[in-house]
Every structure is written in C-alpha cells, then in structure tokens.
Amino acid sequence: IDSNHASLYAAWGKVEAIEHNVELARELFETGLELDPTSTRVYHSWAHLEEKVGNVDTAVELLSKGLEYDSTNTYLWQALGQLALGTKNYDRARECFQHALYDKRENDDLPSVFAYDSYGRMEYTLGNEEKAKQIFLEALDMFPKDIRPMQCLALIEMKRGNMDEARVWSELALRTNQRDSFFWCLLALIEAKVGNIPRARALFKRGSELNSKDAVIWNAWSYMEWQEGNTTTSEKLLRRYFVTKYDIRGDFCILAETMDDSLESSTYSRLLL
C-alpha cells in the first residue's frame, strides 16, 4: 500500500470536517493512519477537527502522538500552542511556540508564520511589548512579504505614540498589499493623529472605495470629522457606519455613544489575542 495516500485521506477528511460530516471525517483520518501511522498531516487535521467539536484533550493527544514521529514539526507545535492559549496556559503556549519557531529542522524547513503571529500577540497581550516586537521583527525577517508582522509592528508603535515608525510599517504594508482596506484606515488614523487631516481624509476615502463594507473606516472617518468640528459630515459618515455594521435602513437617530473608545478597541484588536 502506498503510504503517500495518507495525505489524500487527510485532505479528504478536512473537506468532510468543513461540511460538518464529523464521523465520516474521523473514519477517513483513521484510514489515513492505517496507511501511514507516522503521517503528521493526518494527526494535525484530525486534531483540528476534535478541537472544533470541543474535544480539546483528544486534540492534544493527537498532536502529541504526531510529535512522537516528527518531534520538530512546526505545525504540530504551533497547534499545541494554540490549544494552550485557549485554556490560558500561557507558559505552555510559550513553550510550544518556541519549539515551533526555534527547533532545528532538516532541509531548512521554515517555521510556521502563524506561530510567530500567535506568539507575538500573546506576549503583547501579557504586557511584554519588547518581546512581542522582537518576535514580529523575526517574523518579518523570515517572511518579508507577509503583512501580519507589519500590521502588528505598526500598531505597537502607534499605541506607543511613535507615529513616524507606525507610518513606516503601515506604508510598507500598503506597498505589499494595496487591496487591504485596513491599512488605508490605519495610515489615515496615523495622519489624523499628527494633524495631517487632508491626507487622512484622502486615505479614508481610498479605503472606503476599496471596501465600502468596512464599518471601521466609516466610524474612524466620522470620528475624525467630529473632532475637526465638521458635524454634518461626521453625521453622514456615522449613518453609513450604522448601515454597514447593523444594516439599519431608513431614518434613525445617531447615537452619541458611538463616540467612545470602541474605535481604539476595533483598531488594536488585530494586535491583541
């Protein structure tokens, strides 16, 4: 029997899991392991299924079993770290992410970028800002075209009030991916904070043209106009925010409570766990 077929069963099982055919997916994963008991793809995919249906202990067992056959597998360690995060076992999560990133591997296999992302955001959430920044810089060095570390570095510097550095990371992200409306919004917020209102307004406009369903843009733009004293424009934009986020139609009253820290929360949510 060709053991390479185990990967096909892993892929097929993932499809059935997505379709919520849980028992069939389990049967396919079992068949895959019968063909190749060392298949880390099967262990990883099966563990993901068990996590989704609430069987966290089973997921941990499957990932641990897979590591018996490949002790440096970055994806198995990363998945174990995610499970530890879910139970707020941060020490265990840190241990798993470090294995995922720094274990020596054959054939110069790259570590998981998702491990960098989760590890960095965990450290930032725990208050370890410098450690988080170091992790994101390492990620960017390893994956120079991935926008996730760029956005986190921009948000860290923005939170610190280092707008020049935040602008550098945001512009780098935009040059890498001009279709993501979040970065147009983020750069607009940075320009607004340093008082460059015309440029901020142009950036908000461009972001809203790229993705008119991004409620954060309408809210952020509205808030800027409100701060500038342009209440009529602010109200129009805030109405657009309500329509986009809550699908409210017709005449309705604008609520002042939207002018709170919800904008900050939504902006920095990509940095926190």
pTM: 0.86
What is the residue type of 60?
V
Quick: pLDDT tens for 217-229: 999 999 999 999 9
Residue recorded with tokens 């919004």? 185
State the Cα–Cα distance between residues 208 and 47, nearest whole angstrom: 39
Residue 204 is encoded by which pair of tokens?
Answer: 């908000």
pLDDT at 255: 52
pLDDT at 256: 45
State the Cα–Cα distance between residues 178 and 172, nearest whole angstrom: 10
Lowest mean pLDDT among 12-26, 52-66, 82-96, 106-120: 106-120
State the Cα–Cα distance between residues 123 and 230, nearest whole angstrom: 40
What is the residue type of 15?
V
In terms of phi and psi (left: phi > 0; alpha: psi -120 to 50; beta: otherwise), the region of 108 is left
**Angle at 221 (CA atoms; ends 219, 226), nearest 5 degrees:** 90
* Average pLDDT value for residue range 222-239: 92
Are 149 and 140 in contact, with CB atoms under 8 Å apart?
yes
State the Cα–Cα distance between residues 253 and 174, nearest whole angstrom: 36
pLDDT level of residue 10 (50, 70, 90 thresholds): very high
pLDDT of residue 257 exceeding 50, the answer is: no
Cβ density class 184-208: b for 16+ within 10 Å, e for less = bbbbbbbbbeeebbeebbebbebbb
pLDDT of residue 145 exceeding 90, the answer is: yes
